[in-house]
Structures are given as structure tokens and as C-alpha cells.
Structure 1
Amino acid sequence: MGKTRVISKGYRHGTRDKYSKKYRTKGRPGIARYLVNFKRGDYVDIVADPSIQKGLPYSLYHGRTGIVFNVNLNALGVEITKIVGNRQLRKRIHVRIEHVRKSRCNEAFKKRVKENDRKKQQAKAEGKTISVKRQPEGPKEKKTVEANPDEVEVLAPLPFVENYF
């Protein structure tokens, strides 16, 4: 009789590399991880910390970005989109704070909003109306390429020579 192969079906199967910590980052998280303030509507990245087994999200959600919909004492409610077949489902999961960090995905958007508000305020003070909508780049300008006829080299195949004896 041959060996029977055991196929892992556990909660953490296939996470050897995903849940391993980098060099010199092993061990418990620092105190700064617990002192971050989260509010409803914040964008957060779910990055599972394998040194804390409580409140560990399922491995599929590792590396995903979601929006906080609930704040508890030790955990956050995060809403994530999950692709199932040909549709997107909005999943709501609760994850402990150790496994969550603030996302930087909308920093450029927030910066643009502040800049636009400043531009609008400045235009209002001057008595002008300003459009802060982003415009597409559009087609590039036309160019004319001039070629010197002496330098033009035509590449053509050599004629076929029959070598019959």
C-alpha cells in the first residue's frame, strides 16, 4: 500500500510565506501599533500579524484595503470588496487593531482636495470663478520630420540567385 497524502484544509493552510515576519521584525508589535486612532470612514490596510493569533483575519483578506464601518474597544469593523465569480460582494469583517494599519491610498486625493479648496478661496478673494476639474492630456502636438535624401538608405532584400548546375 502506498502513502496517503494529507491535504491541508485548516484555517491557516498555505500561509507559510504570507504570515512569516521579516528579518528583525519578529516578536510582539510595538506600543505605537495600539496608540493609533481610527475613525469610521478611514481607509485601512489589513496586514495580518502572525505573532497575535486573536482576531487574525482569514488569509484571503491579507493585504486588502477596506473602509472602517465600526470601532470597538479592541477591534475594527472593516468593509472589503471580495470578487466571487463575476461579481463583487461587500464583506464586513471585524479585525483586531494589531492586524490593521492606516492606508495611504487616498493621500493624493486629500492633497488635491486641499489644494483645490485653496485655489477656490484665492479665486473668490479676487472675484473670479475657477474650474478645478482635471482635464485629460489630449493628443500630442504635430511634428514634421525632414530627411536628407543623401542619408536615406533603403533596405530591400537581395534578388534571389539560382545556383543550378
Structure 2
Amino acid sequence: MPHKVFNGKTGVVYNVTKSSVGVLLYKVVDNRYIEKRLNVRIEHVKHSRSREDFIKRVKENAEKKRQAKEQGVHLHLKRQPAQPREAHTVEGVTPETIAPVAYDTHI
């Protein structure tokens, strides 16, 4: 079982044996990164899921590109940041004017 510091960290496999894998990690120590090489049993290792969304998007874009090429249409496939909400008017509410309360110095 690896030390608790390395739980959940993502590393690169650099060596494979019959019962374990060697994993290359970078650990933050003070103001620098130190390269750590761990030998971890296979039961304690799982594939990183960080690329799944990227690979899924690449496949979907390839399919969209193929369909757009068949139809002869230009298609914009770049991701866009979340846009501001559309403007709207609030119905049935009247504005309320408020004024500050006068400061009272009497005790």
C-alpha cells in the first residue's frame, strides 16, 4: 500500500513487473518538485479518467466534421466559454426607493 501522501495522485508508469508497476510522481517539497519513483502493487493503481472527456469530444467532432463535409456546410467546433444570460424584463414588480436612517447621537 503506498503512503497516504500519494493517494489519488496521477503519475506515469515507467516499469512493469509481474505483480507491480513502477510509477513516476512529482511531490511538492517546500518550493520545488521532487521526482519520486514508487513501486506499487497493481491492485492500488487505476487508469486516469482525465482524458475521457477529451477523447469523447474528439470522436464527436470527427463525426460532426464528416457530416458537415457531406452536406457542404462550414462547422465551428471550438469550445466557447459560458456566455452571459440574455437580457429580460421583470414584470409585476415596482421599484422601491430606500433612504438611509438618520444617525442618532442621543443616548
What TM-score, normalized to structure 2? 0.68
Give the match for residue 130 of structure 1: 75
**Match status 1:66 vs 2:11:** yes
RCO comparison, higher one (Cα < 8 Å, 6+): 1
User: Given the alignment of the two structures, is residue 112 of structure 1 paired with residue 57 of structure 2, yes or no?
Assistant: yes
Instruction: Give the secondary structure class of the aligned counterpart of 1:133.
Output: coil
The percent of aligned pairs where both chains have the same amino acid is 43
2:22 counterpart (72, 77, 85): 77
- Paired residue type of 2:26: T
- Between the aligned partners of 1:67 and 1:140, the Cα distance in structure 2 is 42
- Letter of the 2:98 counterpart: V
Higher helix share: 2
1 CA distance for matches of 2:5 and 2:64? 42
Q: Report the Cα offset of residue 145 of structure 1.
A: 6.4
Matching residue of 1:41: none
Q: Give CA deviations for 1:69-100 in whole Å, capped at 9, x if unaligned.
A: 33322112222232122233443322110221
The number of equivalent residue pairs is 106
Q: C-alpha distance in 2, partners of 1:74/1:124?
A: 49
> How many Å apart are 1:108 and its aligned residue?
1.9
> Could you say what the CA RMSD is over the residues aligned between the two structures, in angstroms?
3.0
The CA distance in 1 between the partners of 2:68 and 2:16, in whole Å, is 40
* Change in CA separation of 1:144 and 1:103 when aligned onto 2, cut-off 3 Å: same
Q: Which amino acid aligns with 1:157?
A: V
CA separation in 1, counterparts of 2:85 and 2:31?
Answer: 37
Q: TM-score, normalised by structure 1?
A: 0.49
